[in-house]
Structure 1
């Protein structure tokens, strides 16, 4: 059995940021447990052309700048390489290929068990697995009878396998728009959403949106409840919107059901479809905390700003709107981690 001052579950951006900051808060021995074969979370598995909507200068983790032009918009492989390099310089031990199955508290110690039977103990635990490992597919009637291909954006890589096909992309966020825009030149593509797409200028008045968020302090404002109600918006400098128009990607109200050969649109018309790509987000799942007292009846964490309010020595980093607009993002997880580690450290005294 291996002991640490702090165990971080997950070596994605949230877990790595937490591990980097932990020694500053008195956690000398830090252990990071990651189910994948390498650090980096879900980034290596995203679609090939994924492009951040935040510039490199606003996409760094604590203590290490993002390389290259600070005003460029990094792509998936840039972020993957950055996270690998970041993990190599961490003052922590990272155990890859280690899937956590249970986390329980016995007296003043947390016991963490992995799928292969190994056990680890610590005074504090941070769950930083986020939600990108659990894609959400809405339950739409007829899906099991549909003869075409159904996949989530998590399983989408590039448009070439869809060349010449009729494809529907479901979703109104950045990923849906990026995928639909690159499918447009090769496939007959439609964007299906429940409400019209909302667009946010990427560079209002010549400054990147994230510059404005930083200097107005909205980026760090503790207005989680308000922000959680804000409709999904696509951040664009005009490139993606123009690409949709140029390649004839239309937007239609969400279809109501699948048919054997396609979909049933809201207006009652039927259409044959080859594939449907759902860019419908992810849902956090903390199955390893079942029975710990940290989750409510629906399996959601009971917390305030990421600090568990039901059990001592446990916290979360990497949840959407956890503390601010920037929570769950590369630029925001470090702030959330610092806030949480301060509270976990104080609770040890």
Structure 2
């Protein structure tokens, strides 16, 4: 028989997740005088950044686009903060706003009681009862490894990129990196710089853009242009500049989609890759580009073009997925894949006091936008209820 849960009444919102999304939302609520409770399944805040990112990671966007609400980076922080610098920023952020999550609390079930008008959020030990529930567990809760034939027969190391630290242990090895997003490209570069022979799987068309154009952040330049010019014209400009800076990446194996990078992002959610040196290594023959995998063998892989290669290790840089659908019994705000049904910019609000933060596919900038909207919306209800209570007294 299951043991009885300790029921805890929470006067303000319950925030599930103590990553950047949860911290930003808690700070925005505190700024408005609304108390909240943050719960986190791991043993620390920002667990993805602290426990599942590689050593050489830097933010891909300039720091001004990655700041959380009401707190800037320290002036000495470089334009593109390193992993450890961002972790220090998040720790300082939590301390500055006195955000103290309850750690080690994994939500197993969250459901709305329409009779009483409250949410019941159950973990292995507690049942939190609240009027507002904010889902800030993020899009990257669980690592994804695709089911490719023969993977169980491969005799070398196989793991997800969330377990990759640096290339020191792979010197002299042939390593296959499956996935050509920003993580896959950077891990391939790190392996190459560490003395490994890296091969990267490029199965689909993708946009590769330089991180900077003419000494300016590509993202920052794009945001400036999009305020003044039509999206498709900005896309054409970016592709032209990328061709001038990086050359024709098609002959390297990185074929561009027919539509531009921002139009593709808006229609499919697929983010362009910001190059930090990988393309130069591919041009020099130091990183190999291979097509999609047909199947794995005991010693390596067979590719869609019929070629075969041997590898010592395989790293899956194949991303993450949301786990919200496994515990949230809602059916309104989130779909079965754990993503909001309503597209950006209106994906942050559901019914019955349910909210989401960090599910826009727009990174840290999207998190800040969501957090402000959610906090302001809850404030209006909080102020109204407080006023009503004062009148009753």
Give TM-score, length-normalised by structure 1: 0.87
CA drift of 1:320 comes to 3.9
Q: 1:113 aligns with which of 111, 115, 122?
A: 122
Residues 235 and 283 from structure 1, CA distance in 2 versus in 1: closer, same or farther, beyond 3 angstroms? same
The worse-fitting range, judged by mean Cα deviation, of 171-180 and 70-79 is 70-79
Q: What are the within-5 Å matches in structure 2 for residues 35-184 of structure 1?
A: 35-45=41-51, 46-69=53-76, 72-106=79-113, 107-115=116-124, 117-184=125-192
Preserved contact between residue 135 and residue 282 of structure 1 (Cα < 8 Å): yes
- Number of residue pairs matched by the alignment: 337
Unaligned stretches of 5+ residues in structure 2:
1-7, 232-261, 385-393
Secondary structure of the structure 1 residue equivalent to 2:187: helix
Where does residue 275 of structure 1 map in the other structure?
313
Q: Does 1:333 align with 2:367?
A: yes
Q: Deviations over 1:183-204 (max 9, x none)?
A: 1141121111113553212222
Output one character per residue of 1:161-190: Cα deviation in whole Å (capped at 9) or x when no partner: 112111111112111111001111411211
Shift in CA distance, 296/189, structure 1 to aligned 2, threshold 3 Å: closer
Determine which structure has more spread, i.e. the larger CA radius of gyration.
2
Checking the alignment, whether the CA contact within 8 Å between 2:347 and 2:360 is kept in structure 1 is: no
Distance 1:270 1:214, change over 3 A: closer
- Distance apart, 1:10 and its partner CA: 0.4
- Correspondence for 2:19: 12
How far residue 330 of structure 1 moved from its aligned partner, in angstroms, is: 2.2
| Distance in 1 separating the partners of 2:196 and 2:218 | 32
The separation in 2 between residues aligned to 1:297 and 1:281, in whole angstroms, is 18
Q: Does 1:193 align with 2:227?
A: no
Aligned pair partner of 1:227 in 238, 263, 266 = 266
1:33 to 34, 39, 45: 39
Determine which structure has the larger helix proportion and give its number: 2
The structural deviation recorded for 1:2 is 3.7
The 3 A distance-change label for structure 1 pair 70 and 207 is farther
Q: Distance in 2 between matches of 1:308 and 1:81?
A: 30
Aligned residue in 2 for 1:248: 286
Residue in 2 aligned with 1:286?
324
Alignment match of 2:356 (pick from 312, 316, 321): 316
What is the Cα-based RMSD across aligned positions, in Å?
Answer: 2.6
Confirm whether residue 306 of structure 1 aligns to residue 347 of structure 2: yes
TM-score normalized with structure 2 length: 0.78
Match of 1:324 in 2: none
Pairing partner for 1:202 from 183, 204, 211:
211
| Contact 1:140 1:257 survives alignment (8 Å) | yes
- SS of the residue 1:200 aligns to: strand
1:69-88 C-alpha deviation (Å, 9 max, x unpaired): 46521111111111111111
